[in-house]
Amino acid sequence: MAADPARRDARPIVWMIGFLVVALVVYFVILGQRGFDLISSGTVAGIGVGIGVLILPFIGAWLIFATLRAGIEHQKLARIMAAEGRELDVSDLPRRPSGRIERDAADDLFAQIKQEWEADPTDWHSTYRIARAYDYAGDRGRAREMMKRAVAQYKGEE
């Protein structure tokens, strides 16, 4: 049985994400140490800047957590959609030399999926599909917004 060429090995991506998270954690530890050093200087400016520097690792840790959690949730929905056979099939759409879908084809796909979504905007499946269609059409902001909505619908939070 031949391997499915559409399923790429995710290990390199997982290793890169792990490396980046570890590098950021090391950076946050160093940043925290610098913050404590500034606070221990005893000067008003040092204490103020030190407190500000100490806040940065917490913001960074929250951003890492939120990004990883969203990615895991999106992958979960993608696996479910693939298992149900409802993932968007874009294999026959014309592509640019860069590999991105041609703009007109992506817009046609989006128009089709938008009608599906408008018929039932409360179904997470259709919200997931329109999020993917937004992404293919190049509207990453709306794609992220709709993917968050799909996750909330899947969890029953919306």
Structural domain contains residue 94 = no
Last residue of a domain, one of 72, 91, 121: 72
The token duo for 30 is: 């160093």
If asked whether residues 16 and 65 sit together in one domain, one would say: yes
Q: Is residue 86 part of a domain?
A: no
Residue 96 falls inside a structural domain: no
Query: What is the distance between the alpha carbons of residues 43 and 50, in angstroms, rounded to a whole number?
Result: 10
As a whole number of Å, the end-to-end CA separation of the chain is 42
Domain stops at, among 24, 54, 72: 72
Structural domain that includes position 65: 12-72
Per-residue pLDDT tens, the chain, 158 aa: give them.
444 445 677 788 889 999 999 999 999 999 999 999 999 998 999 999 999 999 999 999 999 999 999 999 999 999 999 899 888 888 888 888 888 888 888 888 999 999 999 998 999 999 999 999 999 888 899 999 999 999 999 988 76
Note the pTM of the prediction, 2 decimals: 0.75
Number of domains observed in the structure of the chain: 2
Task: Judge whether 84 lies within some domain.
Answer: no
Asked if 67 and 25 sit in the same domain, the reply is yes
Q: What one-letter code names the amino acid at 100?
A: R
Residue 51 lies in a domain: yes
Asked whether residue 62 is domain-assigned, the answer is yes
On whether residue 47 sits in a domain, the answer given is yes
Whether 25 and 64 map to the same domain: the answer is: yes
Say if 123 falls within a structural domain.
Answer: yes
Residues 6+ apart with CB under 8 A from 35: 50, 51, 52, 53, 54, 56, 57
Domain final residue pick, 27, 49, 72: 72
